[in-house]
Structure 1
Amino acid sequence: MNQLIHDLRREPLGACGPLLLVPDAVLLPEGPAAGTAVVVADGAFRAVGPAEELERTHPRLDPLRLPGHLLMPGFVDAHHHLTQSFGSALAYGEPSEIFRRVWVPLEGALDEESAYTAAKLAALEALRGGFTTVADAGNRTGVDVDVVASAARDAGIRCVLGLVCDDGAANQDRSVLDEAAGHLARYEGDPLVHASLAVSIPEAATEATLRGTARLAAEAGATVQIHVNEHLAGVERSLVRHGSRPLEHLHRIGALGPQLLAAHATLLTPRELTLLADTGAAVSYNPVASAWKGNAVAPATAMAERGIRFGLGTDGTRGDGFRLADAAEFAQRIAYGLATGDSSCGAGWTWLEHATRGGADAVGLGARTGTVAAGLAADFLLVDVTNPELALSWDLPWELVRRGNRDQITAVFVAGRMRLWRGLPTGWDGPALVRRAAELAQAAVEGAPITRVHPTSTAARARDTTR
C-alpha cells in the first residue's frame, strides 16, 4: 500500500494514464459497497462497478489494490471566505455580525500577495480536511478576484468563486452587472474554477442588481451567494426597511430561485421554508458558525424532509469535513432533537450526503462532482478504516459522521490528481506557505482597523481572576 501511494504521489494520475483502483469499499449514494472498483482517466471516473467485472473488462490495466481503505467522494464546503484565513481566532467570543468589525477591515488590509497567500492557506486547510470543493462567497480585498482563483488552482482545489456585486449607496457608480457578466465569462471552461456571483447581504445591493444577478446566474447555470436570515439584526433591518424579512424580500422582487445559494438561513419561518421548497433555492447549512457566532441553528432536518436543497459549509471556521458532518448532526440534535425526542436526527447518512452530493448540488456542481459515479470528476478521498475509531465497524456512515476525522485521510484527489498525501500537499511546499502566511498575517492584522468586543482568552482570564 505505501509503495503504491508513493508511486501515485510521484506521478499525477493525469500523466500516467487510466488507473483501476480497488479499495476495500467505495462509498456510493446508497452506502458503502464492498468489492467495488473504479476506473479513473482524464480527471474523471470512467467506470464504477464490481471489481471482478472491471478487471475483466479492462484487461490492460493492472489493478491497484488499496487494502484497509474506503474510497469516498470528497467533501464540498458550501460556504467559505478564503481570504479571511489570517484572522480566524479574531472572531472567537465575539457577538454576531463580526463582518462589520473584523472581516471587512481585515480584508481591506490585504494586498495582492497577502490575499493570494491567505486564500492558498485556506485551500490547504480545506484539502487537509478532505474538502475537494470550496465555495468562496466573495471578498472585499480590492485585489483582482483572479488572485483567489490562482491560489485555488495552485493549491489544487476545486473552487466556486464568487464576485461581490454590492452596489449600495457608496458604490452606485459601479457597472455591477457588466462586471458580473464578465466574471461569469472569464472562467468558462476552467477545469477547477467555476464562476459565481455574490451579494454580501440583501441590503447591500439595489433591487435592480439583486434581480440582475439572479438573471445572469440563472442564464449561465451559476449561483448567486447571499448571506440571508443569518442574524436577528439583519432580519430586523429588513423588516424596518422593506416590511418583509430578507428571504421574503428576495422573493418579492423576483430574486429567489434555483440560482440562489442562501448562506446560513438560520432564522426561517414556516412560510420561508415553503418559499425555499417551492422556488428550488439552495442553502448552505453552517453549523459550526452557528455555534461560534450565530443567533440560531438552521432547521436542516426540516429542510431535508421538505426536499430543500442544501449543503454543509464551514464559513471558514475550521477545515475538517468529518467534524463538519458531526457538527451538522450534533447541532440538529441539540437544537431540535432533544425537544422532540428525535434520537437519530438524520440517521447519519443525511449529513454525509449533504456534505458531498447535496453540497455539490447546492453550489451548482451536481452534474460535475460530489458522487463516485461514471462521468463525474474524480474528486475523492482514500480514508484509512483500520484505525481504532473505524476498524470495528457496525454502521460505517454513522461512524464516519461521529468518529471520523481528518487524520484518517490518507490521500485527497481532485480531478483525478493526488493533491494531498497524509496531510501534506504534493508538488508544492506546504510548510513554507504556512511560514510565509504567519509573517504576512502579523502585518495585516496589525494594520487593519479591527474592533473586537471580547479580549483574548488570556486577557479575559487575567481580568476575571483579578476581580
Structure 2
Amino acid sequence: MRLLLVPDVVLLPEGPVKDRAVLVQDGAFRAVGPVRKLTDAHRDARTVRLKGHLLMPGFVDAHHHLTQSFGKAQAFGQPSEIFKTVWEPLEHALDEETAHLSAKLAALEALRGGFTTAADAGTRAPVDVGVVAKATEEAGLRCVLSKVVSDGKGGKEHLERFHGSRLIHPSLAIPVPENATAEVLKKTADLCADAGAVFQIHVNEHLASVERSLKSVGRRPVSYLHHIGALNAHTLGAHATLLTPDEMCMLADTGAALSYNPVASAWKGNAVAHALMWRAMGIRFGTGTDGTRGDGFRLVDAAESTQRLAYGMMSGDSSCGAGSTWLTHATGLSADALGLGEVTGEVAVGKAADFLLVDLRVPELTPSYDLSWELVRLAGRDQITAVFVDGKLRLWNGWPTDWDGPALVREAAEVGPRVVRRARILRVDPDPDGTSRHPRRPRP
C-alpha cells in the first residue's frame, strides 16, 4: 500500500517543519516534501490527514537488556555494581519460555514509550538468543541483537544468522573487557568491523569497574581496548561515565561510539557521562535506557537534565545543547552509533519507515514556541497516538494492533515474581533497622 501521510508538523533532521507530507511504501519513506507537491505527484496513494499531529522518527535505544524486565524494581536503592547481585541471578533463572516472555514484555514497553529500535547488549540467560529475536519480531520492535562471545565461540555464525529478517540486526558482545582474553576481544572487534555490525561492551561504568580493570589487566577499560586494538568505528561502549581526557581522545580518534545512559546514572551510578564534552570532541554517541524505563520522552528529558545538573550549572551553560541536540542523539545519532545510520533514525527518503504520530493538541504544548525544546521537556508517551516500525502500524493508543498486549502483561504479572523468587536475588537494605525513620517527638 502507498500511504501519503499529511501531519501538521514533521520532525526532519533540520528540525520541526510544517507543510510537509511523507510517502510510505514497502516499509520505507519513498518521498518527503511540500504537501501540494506530493499530493499532486501521488494521487493514487491513500492520503491520510493527521490534524494536530507531529510525525517524528521513532526513538532508538542504544543500550538495553531485554531479558531483565522482570527485575527492574529489584535494582532500586541498590549499590552501583548490581550485575552480580541482581542481573546475573535473574537471567540465570530464565528458561526459553520465560526469556521469551521477558523480552516481549520489554519490547512492548519500549514501543509504548516511542522506541522503534532497541539494542540488546547480550543476555546471560542459558538460552539461545533466537528466543529474544522471536519475541521482538512478534512485538514489532527493530532489534540490534547481541550474542555474548566471551569464550570466542559462535560469533561468525551469529552474525550470519538473521540475513532474512527485516527487524533483527546481529551484533556481538562481551559484557566487560576482563571477561575475555585480549585475543578474543580483538578477534570480536575485527569480526564486527568486517561484518558491518557493532561490538557491544560495558566500559568505565563506575568506580568498581574501573578498579577491577586496573587490577586485572593493568589499564582502564577504554585504554585497554585501545591498547589491544579492539577500539574501532564498530565498537559501541556502554555508559563510559568515568573517562579521562586521554580516553576521550582515543574514542574520538578511532571513531568508536558510546551509549549515554542518563537514567542509569541517576538510578545506580556514581557519575554522569560528560556527553556535552563528547559532542564537542566529535565522539559519536546515542542515548540508551539500560533497561531502566522504556520511555523515549523521559529519556531525552533525563539526557538534558543530567548534563545541566552535572556540568551546565557549574559553568553557567543555560542551554546544555538545547532541545534539538537531545532529540537528534536519541534518534538519528543513536541509529548511527548502532551501525544503522543508513537504515533508520530519520524521516528521510530511503530509510525505514520507523516513526511516531504524536498528538500536539494537549495543554502541555499549548501555546507552542519551540517544539524541539518542548518535546524534550514537556512531551510524554501518553501523547503517542501511533507507532510504526518498518512501515507497519504496531501500536495504536499504546496497545498492539495485531496481538493481545494486555494478555501478555497479565501473564508477566504472574510469571515474573516466580522467576525472581527462583533467582534468589541478593538485595542490600540500606536501613535494615529502620533507624532513619524516627517518629516525630512532641515539642516540650
For this structure pair, what is the TM-score category when the shorter chain's length is used for normalisation?
Answer: over 0.9
2:29 is matched by which residue type in structure 1?
F
Do residues 398 (structure 1) and 373 (structure 2) align?
A: yes
Do residues 49 (structure 1) and 49 (structure 2) align?
A: no
Aligned match of 1:464: 437
Q: CA deviation at 1:189?
A: 3.4
Aligned match of 1:198: 173
Within the candidate set 105, 117, 139, 1:121 is matched to 105
SS of residue matched to 1:348: helix
What does 1:17-28 correspond to in 2, within 5 Å?
17-28=1-12
Within the candidate set 314, 328, 337, 1:353 is matched to 328
Do residues 75 (structure 1) and 59 (structure 2) align?
A: yes
1:236 is matched by which residue type in structure 2?
E
Q: CA deviation at 1:381?
A: 0.2
Q: CA deviation at 1:307?
A: 1.3
What does 1:278-289 correspond to in 2, within 5 Å?
278-289=253-264
1:410-464 CA distance string (max 9 Å, x none): 0000000010111111101111101111111111111113111127x9x886973
What does 1:51-200 correspond to in 2, within 5 Å?
51-167=35-151, 176-177=152-153, 179-200=154-175
Identity fraction in percent: 65
SS of residue matched to 1:464: coil
Aligned match of 1:407: 382
Aligned match of 2:424: 449
Within the candidate set 241, 249, 252, 2:224 is matched to 249
What does 1:336-375 correspond to in 2, within 5 Å?
336-375=311-350
Q: RMSD value over aligned CA atoms?
A: 1.4
Q: CA deviation at 1:96?
A: 1.1
2:70 is matched by which residue type in structure 1?
F
Structure 2: distance between partners of 1:146 and 1:154? 12
Do residues 424 (structure 1) and 399 (structure 2) align?
A: yes
Within the candidate set 271, 288, 297, 2:246 is matched to 271
1:432–1:393 Cα change, 3 Å: same
Q: CA deviation at 1:240?
A: 2.3
Relative to the length of structure 2, the TM-score reads: 0.97
1:431 is matched by which residue type in structure 2?
P
Within the candidate set 265, 272, 282, 1:290 is matched to 265
Q: CA deviation at 1:56?
A: 1.2
Relative to the length of structure 1, the TM-score reads: 0.92
Q: CA deviation at 1:166?
A: 1.7
1:286-320 CA distance string (max 9 Å, x none): 00000000011011011111111100000010111
Consecutive unaligned residues of structure 1, counting only runs of 5 or more, are 1-16, 168-175
2:225 is matched by which residue type in structure 1?
L
Aligned match of 1:35: 19
Aligned match of 1:220: 195
Q: CA deviation at 1:165?
A: 1.2
SS of residue matched to 1:419: strand
1:235-284 CA distance string (max 9 Å, x none): 11222232221100000000001111100000001111111110000000
What does 1:3-14 correspond to in 2, within 5 Å?
none
2:238 is matched by which residue type in structure 1?
A
Structure 2: distance between partners of 1:264 and 1:191? 28
Structure 1: distance between partners of 2:421 and 2:233? 41
Moved more, 240-249 or 106-115: 240-249
1:358-407 CA distance string (max 9 Å, x none): 00001111000000001000000000001011131100000000001100
Structure 2: distance between partners of 1:245 and 1:37? 49
8 Å Cα contact 2:94/2:125 also seen in 1: yes
